[in-house]
Each structure stands twice: as C-alpha cells, then as structure tokens.
Structure 1
Amino acid sequence: MNSRIAQTSVPVLDTLAERWSPRAFDPDHSLPEGALRGIFEAARWAPSASNTQPWRFILARRGSDSFAKIREALVGTNASWAGNAAALIVNVAETEDAEGNARPWAEYDLGQAVAHLSVQAQSEGLHLHQMGGFDRQAIRAAFALEARFVPVSVTAIGALGGLDHLPEALRDREQAPRERMPLENLILVRD
C-alpha cells in the first residue's frame, strides 16, 4: 500500500499528517470497554459558541442493535464497507436549546468536536472515516431523536484491515494517492 502520510507544503503535526480516512477496517478488531473515552474527552473540550457544547453522539459497537440500525441507514458504497468497523458513531448537532432558541453555529461546533475526536483517535492508533452518505430520517426514527437534534455525519472507527476486506471496486480507491488543492487556493482574500 502507498504511504498514507500527507505530503504537506509546510510541516504540520505528525498526528495530522498521518490522519486519513480508510475504508478497510479489520472485522475482527473490537474496542474494549473504555477504549473510546479519550476521543470523547477530546471532543468534550472542543471550542463552541458561548460554550454551548451543542454536540451529541450515538456510539454503537459492532454486534449491537444500534450498530445494525446505523448500518442500515448508510447509503451508497458506505454500506459495503462500514460494517467492518469496530464501532459507528452518529455525530449529532443540537440546533436549538431546550427552550427552542436557535443555535446557528451548532453544526460548525459539532465539526470542531469531531475534528478533535479524529485527531485524538489517530494519536491513540485508531482510524476513522467520516461519512455524509446516510439516511438522516432513518437515524432520527431509529433513535427517536427530538427535532432539535440533527444527525450530521456518521463516523466509522476501528483498526485498519487489509484490502481483502473491501469490495473490489473500492480497492484502487483505497490506495490512490492522497490529494488536496494547493494551499494558495484556500485563502480567498490575503491582505
């Protein structure tokens, strides 16, 4: 397999350069109780608007009823590989407080929490893959989520598996070089 370390234009933290989103998870790997406590602690300490902390998570280990519900809600190619992950996490934004006041930055804040979670997971030797391809209404119904709780993404997490754990159509994609647009393209205005 090709090196998965990002070829950055300037040095970044090793944990960030080494982080990538695999699809090949080891279907025999399981997470012992408490193994994910550190990643959720990292998420807990992410910044948020007015310290509202509008992120919630649904954690489901492979083999549980909740895992099956989340897996059934995955669409496209996600459904073909994510079931091998040790756990699936639904990332949920609390877009209104309990009194019905809007939290317009909730999804942004959730993204910060998931980024913190991702970096912590990488530093602990775990791998994860974020997915937007899922049926939000199916998740909402499966877990009886109140309207103020919006499922935004799903994360597969676990140990790396071999390419033989992937459908053939995804094997080349898993090994393709990592690419990003040039750094200069990201900054719209530079004064």
Structure 2
Amino acid sequence: MIKEINYPINVLSKNRWSPRAFSDKIVEKDKLHSIMEAARWSASAFNEQPWRFLVAYKGEESYQNIMDTLVEFNQMWAKKAPVLILNCYRINLSRNGKHNQTAQYDLGQAVAHYSLEAINQGLYIHQMTGFDVSKANKFFGLGEEIVAFSVTALGYIGGVDSLPEDIRKMEMAEPIRMHQKDFLLNDL
C-alpha cells in the first residue's frame, strides 16, 4: 500500500494502518509489555492515567469473552488476531471523585501511543467500537467506576486470502485521507 504523504512525518506514523488480516503467529509477551509501556507514558489530564486495559491471548477465556462482545462483522475477521485488548477508562478522578471529563480523550491518547509502539515492534492493530459495551462491562465485572470503550485486535500482519471476499476488498482498497485544508479550521 502506498500512502500519499504531503509533508515529512515519522516512519511509525507513515506505516500505521488498521489491517483486518492477521497472522496466527503468537505475539511475544515482551513486545506486549513494550506496547503497554508506551501507553503507560502517555499524557493525561492531572496525570490521572484513567486508562485500563484487559489484554487477552487467543485460547484464553477472556479472549473468547471479548470476541463474544464484538458485532458479527468484526468477529469475522478479528478471530484471526492472536491478541484482543479491551480498552477501558475510569469515569471519576481519583484525586477528588468528580467526573473526569477527559478520560475518553486520555484513553485515546494512550491507545494512540501503544498503536505506534506496536508498529515499532513489527505488529499492527485494528481498533473497533463495534461491540456491546454493557456485555463487556458485565463479562469482566468492571463495575460502576470503569467503562469499556473500544476493542483492539493486535498481531502480525497476515494474508488477505484468509478474509471473506467482501472484507478482502476493503482490505485492499487504497486508504482515503482528507487533505489538511479539509480539517484545519484556519490557515497555517
């Protein structure tokens, strides 16, 4: 896949994409620890670090529980990924118990950090919000303080031949990105 890059960017950002074709190759735990370390060092409001992650390997009960929360379309391709991550956040600030208005944003930053570290480790991720949040919260007993927000499939890149034809076409399509003029609210 060739991306049209209009300005110089780092190689990790340039190589980032969200494949649906994953290899069965097992992801090494030390690589997962490096990925989570990148999340650990992400910025957050008041240094709250509200992100919480449930990391599950294929074959574990927690993996199947996460898989069972996914919408059918996502199940069709995500089942090949050797790792699923349930991305969650703490609702309230630990320092005063008040609602943390930036928790979702902070979680997003942490996931962005770990997605780039995944690329650095030779791995790829695909993030999904097509899942049943209440089912995930119930499966994992997250309670009232922690909420599931998204799911990440993680692994080594696989061949597109393992995908159903309609998903294979999506996988092989050229990425479409807006030009900066379309999302900047002012001129630089």
* TM-score range for the pair, normalised by the shorter chain length: over 0.9
> Structure 1 residue 101: deviation in Å?
1.5
Cα distance in 1 for partners of 2:89, 2:186 equals: 30
SS class of match (2:29)? coil
Within the candidate set 127, 134, 149, 1:137 is matched to 134
What is the TM-score when the length of structure 1 is the normalising length? 0.94
Q: How does 1:40-189 map to 2 (within 5 A)?
A: 40-98=36-94, 100-189=97-186
**Structure 1 counterpart SS, 2:66:** helix
Deviations 1:91-138 (A, max 9, x none): 101111356311110000000000000000001100110001000011
How many residue pairs were aligned?
A: 187
SS in 2 for 1:84: coil
2:58 and 2:83 in contact (8 A); partners too: yes
1:36 aligns with 2:40: no
Structure 1 residue matching 2:104: 3-state secondary structure? helix
Letter in 1 for 2:54: I
What TM-score do you get using the length of structure 2 for normalisation? 0.95
Aligned-pair identity in percent equals 42
**Unpaired segments of 5 or more residues in structure 1?**
none
Unaligned runs of 5+ residues in structure 2 are none
Conserved in 1, the CA contact under 8 Å of 2:57 and 2:82? Answer: yes
> What do the CA deviations read for 1:137-177 (whole angstroms, capped 9, x no partner)?
11000000021211111000001111121111101110000
* Structure 1 segments of 4+ aligned residues over 4 angstroms from their partners: none
